[in-house]
Amino acid sequence: MTYPFAIHCLTDNFSWLVADAKQNALVVDPGESKAVKQVITERGLHLTHILVTHYHFDHIGGVAELSADTGAEVWAPQDTISPTHKTLAGGDKLDVCGYQMEVIDTPGHAFNHISLFFPALEALFCGDVLFTLGCGRLFDGTAQEMWSSLKKLRNLPPQTLVCSGHDYTTANLKFINSLKGLGREGIDTITKLETTRKDARDNKQPVLGVGLPTRIGDEICANPFLLADDSDFLKANGISKTAGVESFAEIRRRKDIF
């Protein structure tokens, strides 16, 4: 079994499972308990940790039941869920299930949002901050906070897997295809993703989750929100705002009304 392993929850949520050689496992953002329990039971895993990126219900809906049933510890940012056995904050470096985890403070979508980077897995669990070709809406955060968060994630190694909390790829593909100014690498990334998802449809397979996770390098060249300081991209799309946070806010505005 390859880790991280995506578990489909609710409508378009994805929780992420990781296990070590001793069959101890962690799960990130379990929006519901049933789907997670089915996977860990089928694979004979012992759930020891539940990791949470932020307080929204579709990311914590299964936490209480999973913790009660398995005894797994809940690790979450402050003001997320009770009980929390360990409070996580940006800058923390912790060992969990035999892996080192680095906590990155990434507000913008939610005031207490964190992202979890596992160097040995080359994997980032980024909740609702960064999606395939997209980013989260600004609920109780600001454009400045979200742009700062995205820049932190953009600086991770390009091979890093982007393990997001939702699959919004269909809508995000429509938006990026309405824009101009992508370089050859960005166009190639989108073409490959579209082909992979078309193959699934042609073979009568579910498209949801196909193409996840992407990698940071793919997002850098194809995600419009990470291109908010790319002068060529901004010019091609008639964005005259100052490169950076102001242009990011304009791209976010356009996506919100798309």
* Cα distance between residue 137 and residue 237, in whole Å: 21
**Residue 98 main-chain phi, psi, to 5 deg:** 80, 5
Q: Which domains does the chain have, with CATH numbers?
A: 5-164 (3.60.15.10), 169-257 (no CATH)
Q: Which DSSP helix (H) or strand (E) runs through 246?
A: helix 245-257
Percent of the chain predicted with pLDDT > 70:
100
Query: Which pLDDT does position 15 carry in this prediction?
Result: 98
Residue whose pair of structure tokens reads 């976010």 in the numeric block: 252
Residue whose pair of structure tokens reads 């990334």 in the numeric block: 189
* Cα distance between residue 125 and residue 52, in whole Å: 9
Query: Which pLDDT does position 1 carry in this prediction?
Result: 58
Query: Which pLDDT does position 2 carry in this prediction?
Result: 77
Sequence-separated (6 or more) residues with CB below 8 Å from residue 42:
none
* Cα distance between residue 115 and residue 164, in whole Å: 10
* Cα distance between residue 55 and residue 79, in whole Å: 7
Pairing of strands 123-127, 161-164: parallel
Structure tokens at 129: 């901050």
Structure tokens at 194: 């579209």
* Cα distance between residue 28 and residue 7, in whole Å: 10
Instruction: Residue 225: name the closest of 143, 105, 126 by CA.
Output: 143
* Segments in the chain below pLDDT 70: 1
* Cα distance between residue 29 and residue 165, in whole Å: 7
In angstroms, how far apart are the furthest CA atoms of the chain? 55
Structure tokens at 210: 């196909």
Query: Which pLDDT does position 55 carry in this prediction?
Result: 97
Structure tokens at 143: 């454009």
**What strands lie across the sheet with 46-51, from one edge to the other?**
5-9, 13-19, 24-28, 46-51, 73-77, 86-88
CA distances from 195 to 105, 190, 199, 210, 211 (A): 34, 9, 6, 10, 10
Instruction: Residue 73: name the closest of 56, 45, 97 by CA.
Output: 97
Percent of the chain predicted with pLDDT > 90:
99
Residue whose pair of structure tokens reads 């940006």 in the numeric block: 90
Query: Which pLDDT does position 112 carry in this prediction?
Result: 96
pLDDT in tens, 85-122: 999 999 999 999 999 999 999 999 999 999 999 999 99
